[in-house]
Structure 1
Amino acid sequence: MIVMNIVLDNIRSFEDFNVNFSYPRKVAGSTIDSEYLDGFPNFRYKKLNIIMGANATGKTALGKTLMDVFNFIYRTDVSRIIDSINNTSKKAYIEMDFIPQKQYLYRISLKIDPIDNDDKKFDVKVALKKAKITKKDNYERCAKRLTIKDNEYSTDLANALKPIESFGWYFIYPYDVEYSIHLPDPGLHSIDFSDILENIFKVLDPSIESVEKNEIKNDKNNAAYSIKFKNSSKVPLIHDGEITKGDFLSSGTKSGIKIATLLSAIFDHRNGFFYCDELFSYIQTDIEKAVLSVMISQLNGIEQLFFTSHNTDLLDMDLPKHSFLFLRKRMINNKSQIEAFDASLYLKKGTESLRNAVENDIFNTIPNLDQIYKLEKLCEESNE
């Protein structure tokens, strides 16, 4: 599953928002292997998208919006999208170009017009176009065949979406990690989840000696996991998807459980589309870089990874500049608006430093700290 382009208007804080995930030409010596659609070398797409920006600039909101669109395609339930409309008295619009499997490029267009603002009723129409991808196609050439006309919109959402092939996705967020976890099906993964968990845990907490999998009685499709600390007895950790002894672990080590589930999904190529949202907030920077490197190495030619982070050390990884997307939020006419900056459109020379560009605020992503320092002045005034 690959997302090639997304257009959002009046959805969350996105107004006239557009981001494209293709790139124009092959990068010589790229560290990301075969960054094109499998079997179609001219059809280039950004296999990795590292999204950076200050707090509340849309990194999580973009992931949630994509997840809402995926769920709409899968279930034809538009309620989540309607709930995300920013101004219910205005129309909302979503357009997405995507490849569920590698033969066709699709464009879904969703128009939502308010009917009764008081009762929050809406007229929802959807249109779908698809184009067969040829050997000579790049994204731009193929996308020209996806023009949608006004008379092609339909209120019969289910029938309109029927032609789309099935696809998978995996979104993961840092919250609630101490309570429950979605474990991979033991019968599906090629690498045992306990091995992934053990390798992650040993890096995050050197006092952990091993992780052991224990089958749950009368449930062959699930498992429990225990950890053994050095010079200590075995401690049960996960049972039936619940973290039972999270208080034994640091915040970073608990995050390691979710990191392990994401790695397991990528290793097994179960989902195709992966959105990892600030999962490494409690993780040391070298560990984050190492795990990200492993994730990238395992992506195939019909998979895509979105990875949000505040960690500027990622800028020093030897990655193509087009892999970095910067978001910022501005107030325009008393309205908040999110803008996106593709690093490769600003730094076109191979010798230009991405870190220098960020530190010099080329992408306008450094937050204004005046209000923070104002607190110091207020304290001084109160003590006079």
Structure 2
Amino acid sequence: MFFLSVRLDNVYMFRDFFLDFTMARKSSHFLAKHDALFEGSKIYVRKKLLILGANASGKTTFGRILCAIQNYLVGREMGTQINLLEKRYDQTKPGMFQVDFAIGEYAYRMRCVYDERGVKTEGLKVVKIFPSYTNKVLCKRLDDADYVTEYERPVNAPVPTILGKTGMVSSLLLRQENETYLTKFRDGIQFSYIFSDFASTQSSLHLQESVERLNHILPKIDNSVERIVSLKSEDSKLISHSYVIVFKNGQQMTIPDGDLNRADRTRLSHGTYEALQFLDFLTNVKNNPEMVAFIDEQLAHLHAELEAYLIMKALLVQRNGQIFCTTHNPELLDLNIAPQMVLLFRRTEDGFNEALYVSDRIKKNDRGFKGYYDNDFFGVLPDYSVLDKYFEED
């Protein structure tokens, strides 16, 4: 699956929001050489995105919304962590999301309107994508197409609940007559999201890297580490995935079954834990090349140069799926990335979130666009001068 565009209204702090992931023309940048929707297609999609923004500008929230939408598209109930019903800005009005996405040579548009009782109306459009289509042609085809299936909630419909709370699940996709679409979506939609504030509540975090690679990587990240040793069973028929981290002072830390959340996390620095978590996620990205991957500020406690190095490694992975990386660190703009790969989030004066691509303001592949960012050419840097009076001496 590829996100082609997302439209939001009255969802969190997004009001009349629209973001297009397609590009009008092919980029010559080496990181964008596989950005055609499929081989021979004239539709080009941003498959690698670096997302920057100040605190509360909407980066993490946008990731949560994308995650909620993908769960919705495969017929899952939105759980307590991400429940869009509770996140309508104006509680007296419905929320709405509309997503255009592609699976193989077909494009889909799903529109959903919901209120405090759950899904109110839904509609699905389907268009075959021909190699001659540009992104503008495809968008017009979707605009002009009729809905192949629709849903409107009956007046006396029961309210779905999740753990005692009003829940949200697609009524349209769970209809028996739409089983073909749901099967298509479940087969074609893979995703993995890792959020900074969800990290400590993950049920498990298994190291997938080999001991050899961990021995090359971890001591460079944390110089208190001497080596990593794999625990082996005396019974040759039993396979063990447990490790021991040996520190230079002689102390040891066991990682049962390779699960970091079952180890003594206080023994590792926050930055080291983040780096291991990032490496685990990166391995998952490599092993699932069609997956949508969203990495939310996972390296905030690392040195800026190491964060930039690891993010670049993630962007260099040869894969077909989309990958989103969020950060607060403007030093990442010094990486060799194209302006159309950088998405900036900001808050408007009335408090709503909006986004723009660097390429919206810079029309050439100018690698010096960090200077534009530092001088607030894009208008995304927060103004803290209003706080000066609170720190001035009496």
Aligned mates of 2:241, 2:11 — CA distance in 1 = 40
91, 98, 103: which is aligned to 2:101? Answer: 98
Matched, 1:362 2:372: no
Structure 1 173/355 Cα, relative in aligned 2: closer, same or farther at 3 Å? same
How many angstroms does 1:300 deviate by?
Answer: 1.9
SS at match of 1:37: coil
Q: Which residue in the other structure is 2:91 paired with?
A: 88
Aligned mates of 1:217, 1:40 — CA distance in 2 = 55
Structure 1 53/220 Cα, relative in aligned 2: closer, same or farther at 3 Å? farther
SS at match of 1:36: coil
How many angstroms does 1:195 deviate by?
Answer: 4.6
- Whether the 8 Å CA contact 2:59–2:345 is kept in 1: the answer is yes
Q: Which residue in the other structure is 1:175 paired with?
A: 197
Q: Structure 1: give runs of 5+ residues left out of the alignment.
A: 115-119
Aligned mates of 2:233, 2:347 — CA distance in 1 = 48
- The runs of 4+ residues in structure 1 deviating greater than 6 Å are 215-222
Structure 1 328/238 Cα, relative in aligned 2: closer, same or farther at 3 Å? farther
RMSD: 2.8
Deviates more, 1:103-112 or 1:196-205: 196-205
Aligned mates of 1:40, 1:273 — CA distance in 2 = 22
Aligned mates of 1:169, 1:210 — CA distance in 2 = 33
Q: Which residue in the other structure is 1:327 paired with?
A: 345
- Whether the 8 Å CA contact 2:5–2:18 is kept in 1: the answer is yes
- Whether the 8 Å CA contact 2:111–2:122 is kept in 1: the answer is yes
Q: Which residue in the other structure is 2:358 paired with?
A: 343
TM-score by length of 2: 0.83
Deviates more, 1:303-312 or 1:209-218: 209-218
> What is the 5 A alignment of 1:1-384?
1-77=1-77, 80-99=83-102, 101-112=103-114, 114=115, 120-147=116-143, 149=146, 152-155=149-152, 156-157=171-172, 158-159=174-175, 160=178, 162=182, 163-166=184-187, 167-175=189-197, 177=199, 180=202, 182-183=204-205, 192-214=209-231, 223-230=241-248, 232-239=250-257, 241=259, 242-269=261-288, 272-301=291-320, 303-332=321-350, 336-351=351-366, 353-377=368-392, 380-381=393-394
Aligned mates of 1:296, 1:153 — CA distance in 2 = 38
Partner letter of residue 18 of structure 2? Answer: N
Aligned mates of 1:196, 1:245 — CA distance in 2 = 22
Partner letter of residue 125 of structure 2? Answer: K
**Greater per-residue strand proportion:** 1
Q: Structure 2: give runs of 5+ residues left out of the alignment.
A: 153-170
Aligned mates of 1:29, 1:321 — CA distance in 2 = 10
Structure 1 103/41 Cα, relative in aligned 2: closer, same or farther at 3 Å? closer
Partner letter of residue 151 of structure 2? Answer: S
SS at match of 1:4: strand
Structure 1 29/81 Cα, relative in aligned 2: closer, same or farther at 3 Å? closer
Post-superposition Cα deviations, 1:36-73, rounded to whole Å, max 9, x if no partner, equal 22423422111111111110010000000111111111
How many angstroms does 1:15 deviate by?
Answer: 0.3
Structure 1 153/305 Cα, relative in aligned 2: closer, same or farther at 3 Å? same
Percent of aligned pairs sharing the same letter: 21
Aligned mates of 1:199, 1:3 — CA distance in 2 = 36
Aligned mates of 2:109, 2:298 — CA distance in 1 = 30
- Whether the 8 Å CA contact 1:259–1:279 is kept in 2: the answer is yes
Post-superposition Cα deviations, 1:205-258, rounded to whole Å, max 9, x if no partner, equal 123232234479999798333212235254213557324221211110011221
Deviates more, 1:84-93 or 1:231-240: 231-240
- Whether the 8 Å CA contact 2:57–2:346 is kept in 1: the answer is yes
- Whether the 8 Å CA contact 1:98–1:106 is kept in 2: the answer is yes
Aligned mates of 2:366, 2:339 — CA distance in 1 = 11
Post-superposition Cα deviations, 1:149-200, rounded to whole Å, max 9, x if no partner, equal 579531442135525352211111223645656335x8xx7xx454554444
Deviates more, 1:348-357 or 1:273-282: 348-357
Partner letter of residue 39 of structure 1? Answer: E
Aligned mates of 1:5, 1:248 — CA distance in 2 = 43
- Whether the 8 Å CA contact 1:8–1:18 is kept in 2: the answer is yes
Aligned mates of 1:17, 1:221 — CA distance in 2 = 51
Partner letter of residue 43 of structure 2? Answer: F
Aligned mates of 2:15, 2:234 — CA distance in 1 = 52
SS at match of 1:265: helix
How many residue pairs get matched?
Answer: 363
TM-score by length of 1: 0.85
- Whether the 8 Å CA contact 2:125–2:148 is kept in 1: the answer is no
